[in-house]
Amino acid sequence: MASAQDTNGDGTDLVLVEEYGFTRILALNRPRQLNALSFPMGNGRAFCAGGDVAAVAHSITEGHWTFGANFFRNEFTLNYIIATYSKPQVSILHSIVMGGGAGVSIHGKFRVATEKTVFAMPETALGLFPDIGASYFLSRLPGFFGEYVGLTGVRLDGPEMLACGLATHFVPSMKLALLEESLTRVDTSDPNVICAIIDQFSQQAPVKESSAYNRLDLIEKCFSKRTVEEILSALEQEAENGAIEWITAAIQSLKKASPISLKISLRSIREGRLQGLDQCLIREYRMCCHVLRKEVSKDFFEGCRAILVDKDRNPKWEPSRLDLIDDKMVDRYFSKVDDWEDLKLPTRRGSAAASISKL
């Protein structure tokens, strides 16, 4: 029997589990919260809108930073288990997939997008950074598209996810019921068999003409720069050559985001290029702990207040400008946390550890 903390207010379970022979279907079930991940944990209009960071921030305000540290420890461990799990996971990314929602799906073997999928890593607008192993998968997107997605928090649709590799398949929503029914009838965990089933329902999906993905040359020209300041300057120079909608939106997003979040996010993605998923998660966990301890900035708590609690959408960042942040401040986020243990990931068998899905 589920405990009170494992259920919604109406007594329904936070995670619904169905069994069909070799297949298990797990549905996140916090529809009112857009299936935000909580300690105990979809139905509704979202696959998963991320981790319940508002609850984390509130608990720290009322108690101690270690509550949040334990939340992220559990979340990152789950991400790693999903990435190294021996059986294939099929994630149906129907509607909103953000932050922590990416963590429980992108690391899996198969990611199915639809025409209703909306993906984003919006953490820099919250005073955080793309975590859940995002420095691993963002850094492996074509060119410098990962820097663009991670720094600006831009929303990608299903065809864009498929094109850049975040999704493995595109299936029209009208075929999802048939796909799920076919998957429940399989009597094997062979990923080749699973892939063949999904292939029967998938199709190519052209990227819209206005998508930034069609201009990877400009993405590389701007987002390959060494610093956030240089990236912003390059974008502004391109904007002077003619108004391109995605460039204008990127500039606005960067100027609204937390300056310290932008700095640590860029460095995190760049380091992720040279690290395995386990190394990325361990480093990101350190970064989260420093954020929670408010050692350099309180931007995460201010972002939660402005975006999720008061919803005035007018955060007061501190430091307020990029030029007020020096290298020592950024370095602090990547250092070992005083009097706190690093993330210890479970030991996985060789075959499972080698099964991390390649984008």
Point out the residues that are catalytic: 51, 100, 123, 131
CA 103 to CA 337: how far, in whole Å? 23
Helix (H, G, I), strand (E, B) or coil at 275: coil
**What secondary structure does DSSP assign to 21-88, as a single string?**
TTEEEEEE--GGGTT-B-S----SSEEE--B-HHHHHHHHHHS-HHHHHHHHHHHHHHHHHHHH-SS-
Amino acid at 70: N
Structure-block tokens of residue 128: 């955080």
The structure tokens 């062979």 sit at 190
Structure-block tokens of residue 164: 């850049």
Structure-block tokens of residue 279: 């190394």
Alpha-carbon distances, residue 109 vs 39, 103, 232 (angstroms): 24, 12, 35
Query: Which segments of the chain are extended strands (E)?
Result: 15-20, 23-28, 46-48, 90-93, 96-98, 110-113, 118-120, 156-157, 169-170
